[in-house]
Structure 1
Amino acid sequence: MSMQWNGVMPAVFTWLKESKSGSLEIDFDATQKQAAGILKAQGKGGSRMCGLVGSGTLGENSYLTTKQRLSLLKSLSEVSKEYNVPLISGAAAETKEELVKIVEGLATVGVDTVMVMPPKTKAVPSEKEMYEYYALSEATAKDVGVAIMPYNNPDAAGYHALSTELLLKLATLPNVTALKISTIDVSIIETMMLANKDLKILAGVDTVTVHAGLAGASGGITGVGCIFPKASVTMQEYVLNGEWAEANKISQALNSLSYLDAQPLLMEYLKLAMGIHHNDIAGGLRTFGKKLTQQQIDDVHARYILAKERLEVLDLIG
């Protein structure tokens, strides 16, 4: 599948249901339905989401077993094929050998691009070790017919930051089609674009969509866009057209929710907001992650209402 990476794509939630025994299990039908609903949405200019991210941070990735993850992605691949968009999944491992197995597994269930996170090690790898980790994943991806997207998340605890020099080096590997940069410091994006104007960089934090576009990002991966897809796609349309004032109006309208995308409990917060939006608060609270306090639930609800009211004024609900 040819991937242009000019646009925005949703990192969809993994919907859960209670089994007969009372434990939580993946609700594949509900997850497919919400993914399809997001991909159906159109911006005011007529464009749609340009990809589908499954089993990412917002998709409970770190809590799923390998079997659950592959089953989930196989289910989502049916949706991505129906809407003719690439399916992207994250991959994280302690060693490059373990990463190889993950990439090979993802290729068997319809994943087109693998977002490769830095190695999950306590000790900080050397630049040489980090390069070898990514280079082996890229070679493996080539063998199994998928692409690689190095994922740099320097602001998040537990992720080793990739240096600008390393990212630029990785971008020259044939099977690296884009880079995901999740940071509120968009100067990283600008620095890289100045070094190589042909790079495809996707922003990974909803609060910086407009600023990332100004810095040269070609698109982004969104969590808030799962809840308000019409607004997210329209904002990206304005960004790509250089209509910064119009894009900023939407960014400001979304900001009460976008703020949550940069918090440690982003999955739990935004999943609840999705539940509120679809009148399914109980479903939005079903998670393998942390349980929210009533104060946190009330805060998410208030932030959702504020964003919804602002977007209604802009005719961007839908």
Structure 2
Amino acid sequence: MKCNWDGVMPAVFTWLKESKSGTLEIDFDETQKQAAGILKTQGKGGSSMSGLVGSGTLGENSYLSTKQRLLLLKSLSEVAQEYNVPLISGASAETKEELSKIIEGLVKVGVNTIMVMPPKTKAIPSDKEMYEYYALSEATAKEVGVTIMPYNNPDAAGYHALSTDLLLRLSVLPKVTALKISTIDVSIIETLILENKDLKILAGVDTVTVHAGLAGACGGITGVGCIFPKASVTMQEYVVNGEWNKANKISQALNSLSYLDAQPLLLEYLKFAMGIHHNDVAGGLRTFGKKLTQQQIDDVHARYILAKERLKVLDLIS
């Protein structure tokens, strides 16, 4: 599948339910239903989400077993195929050899593009080691017929960001189709675009969608867009058309929630907001992650209401 990176893509939540024994398990039907609802939503200009990101940070990835994750992605691939968009998911490993095996497994369940995280090592890898890690993942992608997206996320990696020099070297590898940059400092995006205007760069933090577009990003991967997809898609339409004032009004309307996308508990916060939005508060609080305090619950609820009220004024509640 040819990927069109000029747009916004939802990093969908993995919905959970209680099993007969009282433990939490993946609710595949509800997860598919919510993903489909997001993908079918159109912006004011008639465009839709351009991809589907599954089993990421917001998809409980850190808490899923390999078997659970592959089953989840297989179910999401059915939704992605129905709406003719690529399925994207991440991969990270300690060694480049382990990474290759993970990529091969993801391909078997229908993933089209692999977001490759930096290696999970205690010692900070050198640029040479980092390049070899990504180069082998690119070679593996070529063998199995998919593409990769180097994912620059220093918070998740636990050490410094990938250098612009390394990112530029990786970007010209044949199976590297785009770069994902998760930072509130969009100057790195502008620096990369100045070096190569043809680069496809996706922003990974909701608070900087408009600023990233100004810097040259072609799109973004969104968590808040799962809750308010019409607003997210419409904002990207304005960014693409250079209608910055209109795009910024939506960004400001979403900001009370977008702020949560840059917090350590972004999974728990945004998933609860999704539960409020779908009148399923209990479901929104079901997570393999941390349990929210009452103060945190009240804060997320207030932030959701504020964003919803602002978006109603802009006619952006789907």
- State the TM-score, normalized to the length of structure 2: 0.99
Please list the CA deviations of residues 191-217 of structure 1 after superposition, one character each: whole Å capped at 9, or x if unmatched. Answer: 000000000000000000000000000
1:3 offset after TM fit, Å? 1.1
**Matched-pair contact (CA < 8 Å) for 2:119–2:157:** no
Look up the equivalent residue of 1:186 and give its one-letter code.
V
Give yes or no for the alignment of 1:313 onto 2:313: yes
Instruction: Give the match's secondary structure for 1:258.
Output: helix
Counterpart Cα distance in 1 of 2:155 and 2:252: 22
- Higher mean C-alpha deviation, range 266-275 or range 160-169: 160-169
1:62 offset after TM fit, Å? 1.0
Look up the equivalent residue of 1:161 and give its one-letter code.
A
Counterpart Cα distance in 1 of 2:194 and 2:161: 20
Instruction: Give the match's secondary structure for 2:85.
Output: coil
1:155 offset after TM fit, Å? 4.4
Give yes or no for the alignment of 1:85 onto 2:112: no
Aligned position for 1:69: 69
Counterpart Cα distance in 2 of 1:122 and 1:244: 42
Give yes or no for the alignment of 1:17 onto 2:24: no
1:157 offset after TM fit, Å? 6.5
Counterpart Cα distance in 1 of 2:39 and 2:216: 25
1:4 offset after TM fit, Å? 2.1
Aligned position for 2:140: 140
**Matched-pair contact (CA < 8 Å) for 1:117–1:150:** yes
Counterpart Cα distance in 2 of 1:259 and 1:159: 23
1:159 offset after TM fit, Å? 4.9
**Matched-pair contact (CA < 8 Å) for 1:118–1:159:** no
Please list the CA deviations of residues 100-135 of structure 1 after superposition, one character each: whole Å capped at 9, or x if unmatched. Answer: 110000000000000000001111000010001000
**Matched-pair contact (CA < 8 Å) for 2:118–2:157:** no
Counterpart Cα distance in 2 of 1:286 and 1:92: 25
Aligned position for 1:108: 108
Aligned position for 1:180: 180
**Matched-pair contact (CA < 8 Å) for 2:154–2:160:** yes
- Higher mean C-alpha deviation, range 75-84 or range 147-156: 147-156
In the TM superposition, what are the counterparts of 1:1-318 in structure 2 within 5 Å? 1-156=1-156, 158-318=158-318
1:231 offset after TM fit, Å? 0.1
Counterpart Cα distance in 2 of 1:241 and 1:123: 44
Counterpart Cα distance in 1 of 2:55 and 2:271: 13
Instruction: Give the superposed CA RMSD.
Output: 0.8
1:142 offset after TM fit, Å? 0.7
Instruction: Give the match's secondary structure for 1:309.
Output: helix
Instruction: Give the match's secondary structure for 1:161.
Output: coil
Please list the CA deviations of residues 22-72 of structure 1 after superposition, one character each: whole Å capped at 9, or x if unmatched. Answer: 111100000000000000100000000000000011001111100000000
Counterpart Cα distance in 2 of 1:267 and 1:157: 17
Q: 1:182 to 1:223 in 2, by over 3 A?
A: same
Look up the equivalent residue of 2:245 and give its one-letter code.
A
Counterpart Cα distance in 2 of 1:304 and 1:217: 27
1:154 offset after TM fit, Å? 2.6
Q: 1:296 to 1:44 in 2, by over 3 A?
A: same
**Matched-pair contact (CA < 8 Å) for 1:180–1:201:** yes
Structure 1 residue runs without a partner (length 5+): none
Counterpart Cα distance in 2 of 1:263 and 1:297: 15
1:246 offset after TM fit, Å? 0.2
Structure 2 residue runs without a partner (length 5+): none
